[in-house]
Amino acid sequence: MARILIQTTIPPTPDDWHVGRFSLLAEHLRGLGHAVTARDHQPGADPVLLNLADSDFDQLWLLAVDVGDGLSDAESAAIRAFHARGGGVMVTRDHQDLGSSVRALGALGRAHHFHTVNPEADPARCCRDDQDTAYIDWPNYHSGANGDFQVVKAEVEGHPLLAETPFLPAHPHEGAISAPPGARVIATGVSAVSGARFNLIVAFEGEGGRAVAQSTFHHFADYNLDPRAGCPSFVSEAPSDRILTDPRGRRAAERYFQNLAEWLSP
Q: What is the pLDDT of residues 60-90, one digit of tens each?
A: 999 999 999 999 999 999 999 999 999 999 9
Res 147: pLDDT: 99
Helix boundaries (H) for 66-153? 73-84, 107-110
Class for the domain spanning 3-264: alpha beta
Res 266: pLDDT: 86
> Which amino acid, one-letter code, is at 62?
L
φ and ψ of 201, to 5 deg: -140, 130
> Which amino acid, one-letter code, is at 64?
A
Q: What's the CA gap between 215 and 96, in Å, rounded? A: 11
Res 207: pLDDT: 87
Res 41: pLDDT: 99
Strand segments (E) across 85-166: 88-92, 112-113, 149-151, 153-154
Q: What are the tens digits of pLDDT across the range 134-169?
A: 999 999 999 999 999 999 999 999 999 999 999 999
- Between strands 112-113 and 197-204, the pairing is unpaired
Res 32: pLDDT: 99
Averaged pLDDT for residues 87-106:
99
Res 206: pLDDT: 86
pTM (2 decimals)?
0.98
pLDDT band at residue 240 under the 50/70/90 scheme: very high
pLDDT band at residue 227 under the 50/70/90 scheme: very high
**Distance between first and last Cα of the chain:** 10
Work out the mean pLDDT of the chain and round it to a whole number: 98
Listed by start position, the domains of the chain span 3-264
Rg (CA), the chain: 17
Averaged pLDDT for residues 244-257:
99
3-class DSSP assignment, residue 112: strand
Q: SS3 string of 184-223?
A: EEEEEEECCCCCCEEEEEEEECCCCCCEEEECCHHHCCHH
